[in-house]
Chain A
Amino acid sequence: MKTKFSAFLLAALLLAGTAWAQPTISPVVSDTANVLDASLIEGIADINRQTERELAISYRVITKHFLGGAQAISYARETRESYANPDQIILLVMVIGEERYAVSIGSAAQALISQDAMDSLLASAFRLPFLNRDYSGALAAFTAQLAGQMQNASGKVIDASMLYAGAALVPSPSADPLDGFFREPAQSMDHARRYQEETEEAQRGDRGLSIWQIALIGFVLFKIFGRNRRTGQKRGCGPLGWIFGTWGISKFFGWRK
């Protein structure tokens, strides 16, 4: 019984460990700039399911307001490489406030669509509506063309008929607008939290004795020096005097908390 229980516990721990070790699953569309139509996002998620099932290729879209001075293509490449299985990913980054975009294609995905073909698709289907701020329209047209291209290259059917192009011409503030403003908002917040914690800690100072520790030290000193060992007679002040004396000296040395 005990062995079974141990085996069960070990299996549970292993499962938990595996789950912990898995990389974070990125959303298909990360619309941090809040410019895309909800049904378009659903449609793209559906196309991604099909490409993952039929071609083992994932499609990801990120919208951001700004990149804070970074190149869109560098950001796209770095972000794709941070995902699990980056070789199988096609990532489109739309930078709304900078009026720029970039696509990064993983090496496995390049077997289906080359960078040149991708540039041509972007120029023909995406560029004009994107610059006219029809972000959903641009993305829907581009995704439909991309699905067609992958279908032609692989011979597998990718149904893009459910894509719907809505109209969201003005970026509205999202729940957390900073997500779309900073390149790595989570990392920035982490740094900010660490800075706050470290300044608070430094302000407190981590040394010093508590009042109880001071009282204990005072009492021990009284026990050692407060009585004549041979005669057993009291010497000097009582325990409280020693405790207050220790308290005063600890202030003088800066040992108090």
Chain B
Amino acid sequence: MRKVSLTFLAILLLFVFTAASVTIGAVKGFRQEKAQVDSALGSLGPLFATRVETGNNLLTVAHRHLPPENALVEAVARNVQELSAQGPLPLRAQANTRLEENAKALLAALENTPGVQADSRDLSYVTGLLPQALDQSAQWTDAGSYNQAAMAFNERLNGTFSGFLARLFGEAEAQLFIP
């Protein structure tokens, strides 16, 4: 009788330890993955500096040819300020998207100003180098790459038993950028 109860206890312990190791492994694994996603998000922060630079460069040219109260100049200046602020990254990513739209509109408006048309240097900036820099910095700060990584993580978290265990122990979904 004593032997049977010991065997039962041993089997019970085996199951408990197996369940504990599976759970610990799942939680630890998902924490590591989440850290990777967060690290990718953190890497995006310094890249916004290139967008701020591009926005400032565009404003430098714009101030030579348009009044400061021009709506597009004001919009780009506001977006640059929002991007420079040390706020939450999702908010800065949204400002980044708005900067893209406003900067393109400002470039188009600048191209048609008589001042730019008469100035070969600024015309070359407005039609060549500034759009190039804008595209390049947009490519560098593409939030889509981060979103894909975050979505892949969320899929794994929600679609597997290990993910279920990790969620049970408090692992949350990765945040997505809303454009």
Contacts and interface: CB of A to CB of B under 8 A. Distances in A.
B61 interface: yes
B22 A253 contact: yes
Contact of B32 (A98, A177, A207, A254): A207
Interface in A202-257: 202-207, 252-255
A195 B44 contact: yes
A63 to B, nearest CB: 13
A117 B56 CA distance: 32
A65 interface: yes
B117 to A, nearest CB: 14
B112 interface: no
Interface in B91-139: 120-121, 124-125, 128-129, 132-133, 136, 139
A227 to B, nearest CB: 20
Interface residues of A, number: 39
B39 to A, nearest CB: 5
Given A170-B121, A178-B132, A205-B33, A65 B57 contact: yes
Interface of B: 22, 26, 29, 32-33, 36-37, 39-40, 43-44, 46-47, 49-50, 52-54, 56-57, 60-61, 120-121, 124-125, 128-129, 132-133, 136, 139-140, 145-146, 148-150, 152-153, 156, 159-163
Given A178-B133, A206-B36, A254-B163, 11 more contacts: A69-B57, A182-B133, A192-B47, A192-B140, A195-B140, A198-B43, A199-B149, A202-B39, A203-B148, A205-B156, A254-B162
